[in-house]
Structure 1
Amino acid sequence: MRMSYFDDYLTRTGLPTLTRWQHYFDIFDRELSGHRDAPVSFLEIGVFKGGSLPMWRDFFHEDSSLTFVDIDEACRKLQIDGTTVEIGHQADPAFVAQLARTHGPFDIVIDDGSHINHHQIASFELFWPHMRDGSLYIVEDCHTSYWPGFGGGYRNEASFIEYAKRLIDKMHSWYTDQDKLFGFSELARQIGSIRFYDSVVVIEKQLKTGRPTTLTFENGKVALSEKALDIRGRQSVFKGRDGA
């Protein structure tokens, strides 16, 4: 059985305090293990007591750029070799622009910051343009979407979870059949996948130069077409035969 980097990290380290939900480490292993063999530009929002700094420094390639952000000036003293701590607000456009100029573009961004819903949304929208093709944007502690005290609440349209659900629609907007109600979004050209875990959302950037195509293989020949995207009023070929 393969051992994860995180399986024994907490027991073998005597480094600063680290607080995270236990099941997050399985998510990190699944999502980030493929990014260990080459240098990455990594940014994490939220320093707290500094436990993440040595964990990510030892996890990623030694030539990676590792940036950590917090609003607390005291976090500067938690910077260690191989990392940079920057002080500023995760939802401040000027600060994010400065981070992108200095440390971007980014391969991985983890939002473990305030967990306030409108901060999570604003941070995604500010950082997304500065993410590389193939990058991952990870938002932790999305259970605050169900907490009114954090700007959430069940089915509250202002919550990050509801925002992320709408991103699913935008990713699929190539296929709209209701142009006025549900128009095309440019995010369809940028989002490759959105993965929901318990309290964590992972958004993968995958830039597309063209529209999705259908592939038809017939008599040894392959044909590609975009025509299916232009059809309106589609109906299932099984309509009337499957009880619908």
Structure 2
Amino acid sequence: MGNFFNEYLKTTDERLLSKWTQYFDIYTRELTRFRARPISFLEIGVFKGGSIPMWKAFFAEDARLCFVDIDPDCAALAVPGTKVEIGNQADPAFLADLAAQHGPFDVILDDGSHVCAHQVASFENLWPHLADGGLYMVEDCHTSYWPGFGGGYRNEASWIEYAKRLTDRMHSWYTDQDTLFPFDPIAKELHSVRFYDSITVLEKRVKAEPPATVYAQNGKVTLSRRALEIRGRKSAFAGKDGT
């Protein structure tokens, strides 16, 4: 576990905090860089409220911390300096209003219902409200392998399969099959899709220009995007490596 979280667990109060043990190392790796400034943070899913004081202690003093749950009783779990909004994480109207009030967000953490359709709906509605350089994290991705949550192994409706397709869409700059696999505009924003044990992390970095190949020789540096325009490419090693 990361040092902060390891120590924090010893200070918890009556509010139940429930996380998989591997999450704390992932939090440390992915979120430490956000601690130095007052970011805007959104967590979907309050449950017993144990994560609210944890994130309050983790992030900078002036960070804007918002939490969402469908259970009206969770409204009473807010602590000073935080907001708890009540609504359905799959409701586009609610999410639009949430973003208008509290966004754009630097970090969004989905620890809500864990239902795959809800995870997808939240992502599609909130990704446009994630700031450049921000992270969108989905927890409890193991439910993608549980039919009762709309998942199941290789079920196209699961969050994991959706995230795999996001990886494809991120690479659509390089398509060589325009009809089958056309360019997807999300490639202009999606920097990376990182899969951890039961957590998916998607990082947004807005790209002003398409990717380029850099060539450097004798101190001369040039950029080229020709590789994005060619169709019917073949390996330069074709016929030389046994293929």
Match of 1:162 in 2: 161
| Equivalent-residue separation in structure 2 for 1:108 and 1:242 (angstroms) | 46
SS class of match (2:151): coil
| Equivalent-residue separation in structure 2 for 1:4 and 1:240 (angstroms) | 53
Match of 1:150 in 2: 149
Cα deviation, residue 82, structure 1: 1.1
| Equivalent-residue separation in structure 2 for 1:34 and 1:15 (angstroms) | 29
Cα deviation, residue 38, structure 1: 0.3
Match of 1:49 in 2: 48
| Equivalent-residue separation in structure 2 for 1:119 and 1:33 (angstroms) | 27
Match of 2:100 in 1: 101
More deviation, 189-198/216-225: 216-225
| Equivalent-residue separation in structure 1 for 2:56 and 2:225 (angstroms) | 45
TM-superposition CA deviations, 1:183-216 (whole Å, max 9, x none): 0000100100110001100000010011111111
Q: Report the residue type matching 1:228 in the other structure.
A: A
**TM-score normalised according to structure 1 size:** 0.98
Match of 1:25 in 2: 24
Match of 1:127 in 2: 126
- The reply to whether residue 16 of structure 1 matches residue 8 of structure 2 is no
CA RMSD for the aligned pairs? 1.1
Contact 1:133–1:206 (Cα < 8 Å) also in 2: yes
Q: Report the residue type matching 1:233 in the other structure.
A: G
Cα deviation, residue 3, structure 1: 6.0
| Equivalent-residue separation in structure 2 for 1:59 and 1:91 (angstroms) | 28
| Equivalent-residue separation in structure 1 for 2:147 and 2:36 (angstroms) | 41
| Equivalent-residue separation in structure 2 for 1:54 and 1:203 (angstroms) | 25
SS class of match (1:115): coil
TM-superposition CA deviations, 1:31-57 (whole Å, max 9, x none): 001110001000000000000000000
Contact 1:66–1:82 (Cα < 8 Å) also in 2: yes
Contact 1:15–1:54 (Cα < 8 Å) also in 2: no
Runs of 4+ in 1 over 4 A off after TM superposition: none
TM-superposition CA deviations, 1:211-244 (whole Å, max 9, x none): 1111111232111111110011111111111111
Match of 2:87 in 1: 88
Structure 2, unaligned stretches of length 5 or more?
none
Q: Report the residue type matching 1:69 in the other structure.
A: V
- CA change 1:117–1:95 in 2 (3 A) is same
More deviation, 116-125/230-239: 230-239
Match of 1:187 in 2: 186
Q: Report the residue type matching 1:146 in the other structure.
A: Y
| Equivalent-residue separation in structure 2 for 1:220 and 1:11 (angstroms) | 56
SS class of match (1:113): coil
- The reply to whether residue 219 of structure 1 matches residue 221 of structure 2 is no
| Equivalent-residue separation in structure 1 for 2:241 and 2:71 (angstroms) | 60
Contact 2:106–2:133 (Cα < 8 Å) also in 1: yes
Match of 1:141 in 2: 140
SS class of match (1:217): strand
| Equivalent-residue separation in structure 2 for 1:157 and 1:6 (angstroms) | 35
Q: Report the residue type matching 2:116 in the other structure.
A: N
| Equivalent-residue separation in structure 2 for 1:12 and 1:205 (angstroms) | 33
TM-superposition CA deviations, 1:68-90 (whole Å, max 9, x none): 00000000111110110000001
| Equivalent-residue separation in structure 2 for 1:195 and 1:118 (angstroms) | 20
More deviation, 8-17/64-73: 8-17
More deviation, 29-38/6-15: 6-15
Q: Report the residue type matching 1:23 in the other structure.
A: Q
May I ask how many residue pairs the two structures share in their alignment? 243
| Equivalent-residue separation in structure 1 for 2:2 and 2:49 (angstroms) | 25
